[in-house]
Amino acid sequence: MTAGFAGATSSTALPPLVPGLPVLGCALDMRINPLEFLTRMYQQYGPVFRVRILNRTHWVIAGSEGNRFMSSDGGEHLGSTHVYGEFGREFGADLLIAMDGPQHRQLRKVQRPGYSREAIVRHLPAIEHVARESIAGWRPGESRRLLPLIREVVFSQLGALIAGPAPCGLLGDMEVVFDTNLMVNVSKILPKVALRLPHYRRARMRVDAFIERVVNWHRHHPPLDREPDLVDRLLAAEDLEGQPYDEQSVKTSVLGFYVSGLHTLAASATFLIGAVLGVPGLQAQIAAEADQAFDEGELTLASLQGMTTLHKAALETMRRYTVSAFLPRSVITAFEFEGFRFEAGTQVLVAEGVTHLLPENFPNPLAFAPDRESWNGAAPPSDVYTPYSLGAHSCLGARVADVQLRAVAGVMFHELELAFKNPNTPLSVHIHPVSGPSRRLQVTAVRRRVH
């Protein structure tokens, strides 16, 4: 794939290297609000540049040019296996995120119905119930850390989408297993020995035992009087050779379901609630819509869609506080892009979210403005607005996330009037180890709303 770029005259030239600190490189710039940093670099250097993060140099592809490339030829040239392969193998089989090519496409096809909008709509009453129960004991005047609370809600809701045993008390273990593996095998900021420490091994043992119980329950309770869920579909599916997926592959895919929303969805829901609190009058407007929706009975897709202000706030949240701001990839076959040649093995960051912060796409881009013209009609082009990524590895759970995100916030604003514990609290994106809000962000229940 070759594309022209006025700033490069030879495919043998190296992209510009962003200046950084000794040893650290651009690590500090990438730790807090990385998308703002990458956007400034795109504006300065163009759609291809290099950044050094600790001891590794990454080539960055950014802007609408990069997004169009990802939508067309990206899957042919950029892969996830080299980046996430060890991460998946730690669990005994490849996770979907660690696969490329025909095997990846086949497993996505198998899992897609389990991540569909229909899959979550059937469980909306349970999703609502979990959210209500999670905040039932929140007393007026009490402050709570928002991200851990939302993670509890989201994790319990994901458990409600899978029949059989519930993941009670397992959130901490899931976080330890996922975060440790990620920091060892993807970001590589922890040594391999971290995977052998007792704290990790105990958490891993409990998580493995739970996943095994879920799979065994489905083997003994086939979907005769219920709709098949993700586990049922995995057990009934065949791979490209026409063989059933082996036991460990099924278990690893089930684990992937639980951890997929643990960070991304919970982070987006936290940002949504926090961003709404920062706009005077917006919480009251959304609460009024939520009251009307819940007055009609249990939450339905139609009543959720009736919360138009909440919907616009969610769209704006995923633009302004993009959780998947950039994607690590590795070049699997060499290609030329914008005048530069990317050789096999080159480590790449695809900064898809840069387009979210460009003023030519969204005026005053650092402002949180749910009333933007962008959300009043047709959605912005896919090379401009990319909340769920692009190409072969676009978010499989996007439709589930879209519904669940609004359901969580809708219940929260229906039940409680909230405020920042510290009114001067800034919302910022932190990498710890994936993108999300600060763990220290606290909100206070001003009052429980009377219905």
81-126 pLDDT, tens digit each: 999 999 988 998 888 888 999 999 999 999 999 999 888 999 999 9
Q: Pick from 420, 438, 421: which is nearest to 429 by CA?
A: 438
Order of strands across the sheet that contains 48-53: 48-53, 56-62, 347-351, 327-331, 78-79
Instruction: Please determine, for residue 3, whether its predicted confidence score (pLDDT) is greater than 70.
Output: no
Which residues share a beta bridge with 436? 430
- The tens digit of pLDDT for each residue in 43-79 reads 999 999 999 998 899 999 999 999 999 999 898 999 9
pTM of the predicted structure, to 2 decimals: 0.94
* The residue type at 424: N
Instruction: Please determine, for residue 429, whether its predicted confidence score (pLDDT) is greater than 50.
Output: yes
Kindly indicate the confidence band of residue 214, based on its pLDDT and cuts at 50, 70 and 90: very high
- According to DSSP, the β-strands at 56-62 and 347-351 are parallel
- Domains of the chain, by residue range, sit at 27-448
Lowest mean pLDDT among 4-13, 73-82, 182-191, 413-422: 4-13
In the CATH hierarchy, which top-level class contains the domain 27-448? mainly alpha
- The tens digit of pLDDT for each residue in 6-24 reads 344 456 789 999 999 999 9
Q: How many CB atoms lie within 10 A of CB 167?
A: 20
